[in-house]
A and B are shown apart, each in its own frame.
Chain A
Amino acid sequence: MAPFMDPPPLTSVDTALTAHTTATPALVAPEPEHCPGPESNLAGKDDACAGCPNQAICASAPKGPDPDIPIITQRLAGIKHKILVLSGKGGVGKSTFSTLLAHAFASNSANTVGIMDTDICGPSIPKMMGVEAETIHVTSTGWEPVWVSDNLGVMSVQFMLPNRDDAVIWRGAKKNGLIKRFLMDVEWGSMDYLVVDTPPGTSDEHLSVNSYLKESGVDGAVLVTTPQEVALLDVRKEIDFCKKAGIRILGLVENMSGFVCPKCTHTSEIFRATTGGGRRLAQDMKIPFLGAVPLDSRIGMACDFGESFFDNFPDSPTCKALKEVVKNVGKEMGVKEEDVLGEDMFPHVKTLTASSVSSAKEESPVATPLAQARKVLGNDTLEAQRAVIEVRNDAVKYVDTATTYANYSKDQAVEALTENERLKMKVAKLEREGILEQREFMHTT
């Protein structure tokens, strides 16, 4: 049988885009190869349906609009601005940018901000926010998002995994179901901004988020890219998807554009832009260019620790570039400039809440581990990277190590990390036994 690849007719794209807006019948078998979708108008009548065990179900199912969409619209009614963060390519910094955007909005204490992580297979947002070990609190009115601070809440599949490293091996339909629940069951309440982080590609998650949010309205999508053509190739496809789906594009951000060597401060192109980079693409596609953000190795570090990059390294050139990008995003959305960012974006010392279990808990505010390291070893950030940080606690001594060991020999580094892992396990055991409260270590795990 000679295979053939017929061009996907335009109708099939439209069907895919509107599929989630109609009610889904309950199927008894997996969908066949060229299934038009159980929710589409051709369900049960298409050529591909012949022989499928679900044919009768699909043909007789009511074809009205999905009754859950009005519920979703109602849930999200209190949210003033919704932003999607998209990129066709993986690894360009979508999650990083989402967290930075959320932190930036949340720096203005009058704003309430939420992040929804729709990346089911690789949920990174909880780790970047430092709340990886939390679980979802279920109330009678719905699921409560995990609050990182007073005005910043997170929802992600990571909180639902029994084990942190469990793989989520789900097909598209099941992922759509979970995203629907995030929108339907989570009590977002009244918020100023909801940032939706998406996985790479143009697939089920994007289609479902788009369809469910169509009625309640999305302010627009921010596209993230890196300068090289391999990334731009995929971002072009994402722009095409946005145009087909009717999503307004707020603009394009070029991440990792330029690297400043910490030793000689020479700027080099780590990912060369051979075809003009993001700027040229934005020009060609006639979308706003929101800014270029240089690569700073400390962003990666801040994300690994779950700290806010803005708070810890405010004098970095990356920070300034990011503030410009956030201001431009606000401008595109039509928000007044003074309402977007907080008045001072400078580090404030985070206070860990006193633990009732550990009686000898210090009352004075404890600075974050990174800030402590800098204080101890001076402001030389390269030295801070090489620091070993100690967070004392009467119950257990927890040694957290910075992730680069330029001064250590390989054996010493491996030894230090092994010791770190051993102590982490000890801490986890004490947490499980209730001796240590989990919240204490929110900023250190």
Chain B
Amino acid sequence: MRQIQTTLNTITPQSTRSPSYSHNFCGGLPVTRQNRLQPPRLLLTCAMSLDNVGSIILVLSGKGGVGKSSITTQLALSLSLRGHSVGVLDVDLTGPSIPRFFGIENAKVRQAPGGWVPVPVHEAHALQHSATDSADGTSKDHHHMGALHCMSLGFLLGNRGDAVVWRGPKKTAMVRQFLSDVHWGQLDYLLIDTPPGTSDEHISLVETLLKNARPGQVAGAVVVTTPQAISISDVKKELNFCKKTGVEVLGVVENMAGFVCPNCAECTNVFSKGGGEIMARDFGVPFLGSLPIDPMFVSLIEEGKRPVYPKGTTVAGNPVEATSNGTPAQHREVQNGSLADKYTSCSLYPIFDGIVTELVAKISKT
């Protein structure tokens, strides 16, 4: 089991003089150009760690393998690109994927007096280049990025191949610990990625949140599905779970709706089509959007390569910015840049931007 290092021996003199500064961001983090731009964040040592979290969003799906972790990652990146501070909690104890998605598999969790400190993906900073330039030359307001932190059991495992063979009560205890003993600090949004099913983790998650969160703090759940009828029948159970436990469903996202052949740009519906929208309509919940399978996103996560598309690619009817021949994006190198920066070149980013706009509007309305 990996040792959780306390930060007592990494406190710099500056931080001991001003006890209100957090210990954690001075020690252990590589001091990059981005870090130096901003002063260390204030971490209030609060009794209940969820007190300073703005809204909590659960990402649920009854079915496995529909893309919950991918969508949580993309939601987190999109929210962060809009300037919000985001935390991601990975409650999938037997299969924690979030560290790999953010590319921080080898990071360690730090322990401060009173709790664990979530691992930072990036701090609040300004992006060097603005994101997509629209046709009329005005650049969108995406140059200030919020901080992004995450917490997962994956960081606490000694060996990445070790199985987590736990019975229900221990999983319940771990989920409660994640919610109460982690220093989330000041966050606008906390996204919680869940395992498939409706079992111990989900029950304890909802129970603990209903007990500890402020009324209205749990904004709701985003339910993910694929269009196939098999997935729909499992996800319907999840929607019934939300209804039973009183969790509001913010919307349904349909993932893997179509695969664009990289050779001929023909979109094939590998897992059928349309099921998610019908289900959302049947249950009276909003339908947030339909996402195709984008192999470039996979290569971004797996290899860290900035997405590059052949000319003429369209996603959901909109042309993707052609990055292969002498366009404004030419000066951007393929490998350089943070994950969030590279994500802005992904074809799924505009779709997620739309989804996030809708979600933020909905949450701020309630």
Interface residues of A (CB under 8 A from B): 2-8, 13, 16-17, 19, 30-35, 37, 88-92, 95, 120-122, 124, 127-128, 132, 164-173, 175, 199-204, 207, 228-230, 233-234, 236-241, 244, 259, 261-264, 266, 268-272, 274, 295, 297, 300-301, 303-304, 403-406, 413-414, 417, 421
Contact = CB atoms under 8 A, between A and B. Distances in A.
Interface residues of B, number: 83
Interface of B: 1, 4, 62-66, 69, 94-95, 97, 100-101, 111, 113-116, 156, 158, 160-173, 176-177, 181, 195-200, 202-203, 227-230, 233-234, 236-241, 244-245, 259, 261-264, 266, 268-275, 277-278, 282, 293, 295, 298-299, 301-303
Nearest to B154: A233
B63 A90 contact: yes
Given A121-B197, A233-B160, A272-B298, A172 B168 contact: yes
A118 to B, nearest CB: 12
A264 to B, nearest CB: 4
Contacts of B203: 169, 171
B97 A230 contact: yes
B264 A230 contact: no
A167 B237 contact: yes
Given A173-B168, A266-B261, A405 B295 contact: no
**4 tightest Cβ-Cβ pairs between the two chains A and B:** A91-B65, A90-B64, A172-B168, A7-B1
B264 A88 contact: no
B295 A268 contact: yes
Chain A CB within 10 Å, residue with most, of B101, B163, B172: B163
Given A3-B115, A229-B100, A404 B272 contact: yes
Given A237-B164, A417-B278, A228 B270 contact: no
A403 B272 contact: yes
A127 B275 CA distance: 15
Nearest to A208: B167
B97 A228 contact: no
A355 to B, nearest CB: 25
B155 to A, nearest CB: 10
A274 B303 contact: yes
Given A3-B116, A165-B240, A228-B298, A92 B169 contact: no
B266 A202 contact: no
A241 B163 contact: yes
B278 A414 contact: yes
Given A121-B198, A238-B163, A272-B299, A403 B64 contact: no
B296 to A, nearest CB: 10
Given A261-B263, A270-B293, A274-B303, A91 B66 contact: yes
A16 B167 contact: yes
B233 A201 contact: no
Given A3-B116, A203-B171, 12 more contacts: A5-B1, A121-B234, A124-B233, A165-B233, A165-B240, A169-B199, A169-B203, A200-B64, A200-B65, A201-B195, A233-B160, A413-B274
B63 A233 contact: no
Given A167-B241, A404-B269, A230 B94 contact: no
A121 B237 contact: yes
B261 A261 contact: yes
Contacts of A17: 165
Nearest to B157: A237
Chain B CB within 10 Å, residue with most, of A2, A203, A228: A203
Contact of A164 (B63, B176, B233, B259): B233
Contacts of B301: 230
A406 B234 contact: no
A37 B241 CA distance: 28
A336 to B, nearest CB: 34
Contacts of A272: 295, 298-299, 302
Given A244-B163, A272-B298, A200 B272 contact: no
Contacts of B66: 90-91
Contacts of A90: 63-66, 95, 195-196
A234 B97 contact: yes
A201 B96 CA distance: 10
B199 A172 contact: yes
Contacts of B237: 121-122, 165-168
Contacts of A4: 4
18 contacts: A2-B113, A3-B115, A17-B165, A33-B170, A234-B95, A237-B164, A240-B161, A259-B268, A261-B263, A261-B266, A266-B261, A303-B229, A403-B227, A403-B228, A403-B272, A403-B274, A403-B275, A405-B273
A263 B229 contact: no
A201 B94 contact: yes
Given A89-B65, A122-B62, A240-B161, A169 B270 contact: no
Contacts of B160: 233, 236
B270 A203 contact: no
A236 B62 CA distance: 23
Contacts of A274: 299, 302-303
A78 B97 CA distance: 41
Contacts of B111: 2-3
A266 B113 contact: no
A88 to B, nearest CB: 6
A432 B275 CA distance: 26
A127 B229 contact: yes
Contacts of B202: 169
Given A171-B203, A272-B295, A237 B161 contact: yes
Contact of A124 (B165, B234, B299): B234
Given A405-B273, A413-B274, A262 B173 contact: no
Given A16-B166, A90-B196, A403-B275, A261 B228 contact: no
Nearest to B242: A167
A167 B169 contact: no
Contacts of A32: 169
B161 A230 contact: no
A218 B307 CA distance: 46
A121 B298 contact: no
Contacts of A230: 69, 97, 100-101, 301-302
